[in-house]
Structures are given as structure tokens and as C-alpha cells.
Amino acid sequence: MFSGSIPALVTPFAADGAIDAAAYRALIDWQIAEGSSALVPCGTTGEAATLSAEEHFGAVRVCVDQVAGRVPVIAGAGSNDTRVAADNLRRARQAGADAALMVPPYYNRPSQEGIFRHFAALAEQTELPIVLYNVPARTVTDILPATLARIVTAFPEIFVAVKDASGAIARVSQHRASCGDRFVQLSGNDDMALAFNAMGGRGCISVSANVAPRLCADLQAACAAGDYAAALALQDRLFPLHDALFSDASPGPVKYALSRVRAGFPTGIRLPMTWPSVESQRMVDAALAHAGLA
């Protein structure tokens, strides 16, 4: 259902702090024109944690409207409260999203049994396909391979993919063995996307694709075609950017990078996130030059 380069979209904020819908629509059109194969509004990079529910699903509606069926829309919808997560799934479906991106409960630190029951409860309340998002560095909760297999086996029509940001590359093979080839694995780390695909992944939900959508799409296309020499050349070109975009708290660096490659792109960011440091900006500048983007 999903493959290729899938940007985890930033959310543009106007000078008054409101979501800049015009800038968002323009960003969406550019992403599609540059070869992105799906879009993720209101994920971590989209500053979902600082959006009200009305803003969050309003942005999803804007994204769905602007996409107009050209690519799938995977709405960020996770919560550490199972009831809120279920309501988010309902809102995402009402907004027209094709799927939802769902983290396991953060902060609560549930057991593996609690993680399974959380997702089982959601599956019983929705028909919207779910992309599991495993990002232990942020949630302090790890969906272990045995638990992921249990979730997918119990509800194969709901849990169709994983965005794996665990950093444990061997899990691609573990998940292939337990969940089968039909289950889609997407890298959650740009710097590991090439190796992830070589082991059986089918794409990347990407921060860098916000800034370099064509290069990221070309890398994914090269992997899909089995041209790993071309993919490696693109990896080398993009790697400094992957690194620089996390040289300060995300999404500060990626918003700075977008202001460099797209004239007039809004520079708003919501506390507690801040504009990147001067040192981070210099790293981004150098990376953009290395990639031939600025």
C-alpha cells in the first residue's frame, strides 16, 4: 500500500503563530511534483505535540484536500491514552486520510502486553489502515519484534506497515520472517534507508524529503529498481543533510533548511522547539551545498 519516499511534513506557521494554510498547500504540491509517493501530516516533524486537536485535524483536512487523491495521506494520530488514540483515528478517517501513523503509548511505559492490548483495542474500533511507528528514542516504549508480529497476525487488515525508527537494522529480517512480505516496512531513519531497503524495506518516512524530495525519491526509485550503485551515490550526496537536520532539536534545522531552499517559506516554530543554533545552521548550509541544493 505504501512505498518510496514519504515526507513527514513540517507544519508551516505564520508570523501570528497560526498554521499557514497557503504555505502548507504549496509545500504539498511541491512534494508531489518532486516525486514523493505519500505524505504524512501532523507527525513529530509536523509539531503535532503542540497542535490543538482542531488544528491537528484541520491540517489533515487541508492536506487531504490539496492532495486530491494524487498520493496517499497517512495522518499522524497517536496518543498515550487509548481512548484519545481511538478518537484520533475517528477524526483522521473523517478528515479523509488513507491511513494513520500510530506510536505506542509514550510516557506511561506499558508492558509488551499493554502495547498489544492498546493496539488491539484500536483495531476493534476502526477500519482505517494503521502504520505502526516504533520510535523508542522518543516514546521510551519499544514494540519488540514478537509483539509486532502478534499485533500484525491478529489484525492483518488493519496493521499494514511499520515505520521503524528503532535503529535495530536486523529487525527488518525479523519482521519479514514473522510478518511476511505483504507487511510493508518503512525506515524511520533517513541515514539508514539504503541499508533498510537492501534488507527488504520498501521506503522511508523521511525528514530530509521535506528539503530534498527529488533526491530522496530518486534514491528510493533506485533501490526499487535494484540499482544499488546509483542509490549509494545518492546516499553519499544526502548523508550530510541527514546528519545536519538533527544537529539541533528537530524540526528546527529542517525548517531552517526549507527557508533556504524555498524563498519565503514561513520560519515560525512553536515552543518548546526553537530555531536552530548558529552552529547547526552552518551544518545545514554546508549539507545543502554538498547536495547541490543551495
Here the cell at position 165 is 525508527
CA distance 30 to 281: 23
Cβ contact 243:280 at 8 Å: no
Q: Reply yes or no on whether 228 is catalytic.
A: no
Cβ contact 128:97 at 8 Å: yes
CA distance 116 to 144: 10
CA distance 151 to 193: 24
Phi (first) and psi of residue 7, to 5 degrees:
-65, 135
* Torsional class of 200: left (φ above 0), alpha (ψ -120 to 50), beta (otherwise): left
Q: Reply yes or no on whether 163 is catalytic.
A: yes
Exactly one of 24, 106, 107, 163 is catalytic; name it.
163
- Distance linking the first and last C-alpha atoms of the chain: 34
What one-letter code names the amino acid at 203? G
Exactly one of 24, 133, 255, 256 is catalytic; name it.
133
Report the catalytic residues: 133, 163
